[in-house]
Amino acid sequence: MSDDAPKKSPARRRFLAQGAAAAAGILGGSGAPGRSRAEAAAPPGIPDWMKEPGADVGSQTYGQPSRFESGLIRNVPKGLKQYISASSRTPLQDLDGILTPNGLFYERHHGGIPDIDPAQHRLLVHGLVETPLVLTLDDIRRFPSESRIHFLECSGNPGFEAIKAGRTASDLVGLVSCAEWTGVRLATVLREAGLKPEARWVVAEGADAAAMTRSLPIAKCLDDALLVYSQNGERLRPQQGYPLRVLLPGFEGNMSVKWLRRLNVTAEPAFSREETAKYTDLMPDGTARQFTFVMEAKSIITRPSGTQRIAPGFHEITGLAWTGRGKISGVQVSVDSGRTWQDATLQEPVLTRALTRFRLPWTWDGQPTTIASRAIDETGYVQPGFADLTAVRGLNSFYHNNAVVPWRIAASGEVANGYA
């Protein structure tokens, strides 16, 4: 080898050598007894699925995943007394990229999922407006539309105590998902109705059995809020608010009211059940933080993560980061139990109020350690550790836990919750 030839690291040489050995075993041992089906199917062998035509194009009128991916499903808690007011979680550890398929998008319902006929559904806009409106879905779709990619996250993702119990990334922070949303700016509809000078809030009401009601600050309504009717290119699923929902990018998910039927423009918030008895943060001194709308910067490593198993050698650490205050500007990863941190690479696109994927190459030496990530957003905010967060907030609160999530890796390669 000349001095100018590129040099390969020992780890890289081992990786290539292992791959070459595996290929030689497959090619050289095609007639050996006891071969696995995978070995028999590898080139130059002819696998069974090449020996006859596959399914025809009309076998699925709505596309479905491969039957070998049947385990990729939403994480639904077991043993609940009822599932009317409940949630299901996105399997973050099994996904790639930043977009969540509609069938795996997390859910949170308070009165079950209504079966709404869009032809009968109406949106009422009233209160402190010059011209009250009653709009059909066709009326709404006549307004100028736009599509944007944003995350949506429940503010109880996870509770302060629940962070110790989750086994997988989905268990811990699976109440977050990301999609391309299509709809009309809420500001467009409000201006069509004509806001009166004293308008300060918009009280949104859903058409579910719980009549979910939240107060939306007028500044957000006139900024980037959307009235959404499509998600990832298709009409909203019933679980996601079909036929119409509000989307408040970066705000706690409960405010993006689903099955939207009414917008009441007011001078004061409604102080509804969902912003008094629920979705407030009880502090150690007995006071409560109310209207804590924004979801702070957060991240989690999704691979390797809880219940997975790794072997010594090269691995790509990857995960997701997000913030309700704009864009993620950086993610730092520790592979030595928090003693040192190094910058991960952010995968493009890095969008405002959207999931951002990060990656870091890592070679594990087989020794027990703990890995973790912390996000930094464009405001300079750094995701806190659990001890730092609870030193300020205490453990009484259920909402807005954005603490660092560590994964403990045993000598066996088993990955587990670092808080457990």
- Report the C-alpha gap between 122 and 217 in whole angstroms: 23
On whether the CB atoms of residues 356 and 300 are closer than 8 A, the answer is no
What pLDDT, on the 0 to 100 scale, is given for residue 95? 98
Among residues 15, 156, 186, 4, the alpha carbon closest in space to that of 86 is found at 156
What single-letter amino acid sits at 210?
A
What single-letter amino acid sits at 320?
L
Q: Looking at 254-310, which runs of residues are DSSP E strands?
A: 260-266, 281-282, 288-289, 298-303
Among residues 374, 372, 347, 349, the alpha carbon closest in space to that of 358 is found at 347
DSSP string, 364-398: E-SS-EEEEEEEEETT--BPPPHHHHHHHH-SS--
What pLDDT, on the 0 to 100 scale, is given for residue 192? 98
Give the count of alpha carbons within 13 A of 313, CB side only.
10
What pLDDT, on the 0 to 100 scale, is given for residue 3? 47
Give the residue range(s) of CATH 2.60.40.650 domains in the chain. 298-417
Neighbours of 117 (CB within 10 A): 7
Q: Looking at 304-414, which runs of residues are DSSP E strands?
A: 313-322, 328-334, 342-343, 345-346, 356-364, 369-377, 407-409
Among residues 374, 371, 382, 383, the alpha carbon closest in space to that of 410 is found at 371
CA distances from 302 to 63, 224, 335 (A): 27, 29, 14
On whether the CB atoms of residues 183 and 228 are closer than 8 A, the answer is yes
Give the residue range(s) of CATH 3.90.420.10 domains in the chain. 86-289
Please give the DSSP secondary-structure letter assigned to residue 297: P
What pLDDT, on the 0 to 100 scale, is given for residue 344? 98
- 3-state secondary structure at position 115: coil
- Report the C-alpha gap between 334 and 346 in whole angstroms: 16
How many helices (H) and strands (E) the chain has is answered by 7, 23
What pLDDT, on the 0 to 100 scale, is given for residue 420? 87
Beta bridge partners of 414: 309
Q: pTM here?
A: 0.90
Q: Is the C-alpha dihedral spanning 141, 144, 150, 151 positive or negative?
A: negative
What single-letter amino acid sits at 278?
K
> Mean pLDDT of successive 10-residue segments in the chain (420 residues)?
47 49 41 69 90 90 93 93 94 98 97 97 98 98 98 96 94 98 98 98 97 98 98 98 98 98 98 93 91 97 98 98 98 98 98 98 98 98 97 92 98 96
Q: Find the DSSP H helices in 237-369.
A: none
Q: Identify the CATH assignment for 86-289 out of 2.50.20.20, 3.90.420.10, 3.40.30.10, 3.30.365.10.
A: 3.90.420.10
List the CATH code of the domain at 298-417. Answer: 2.60.40.650
**Residue 6 tokens, joined:** 């590129």
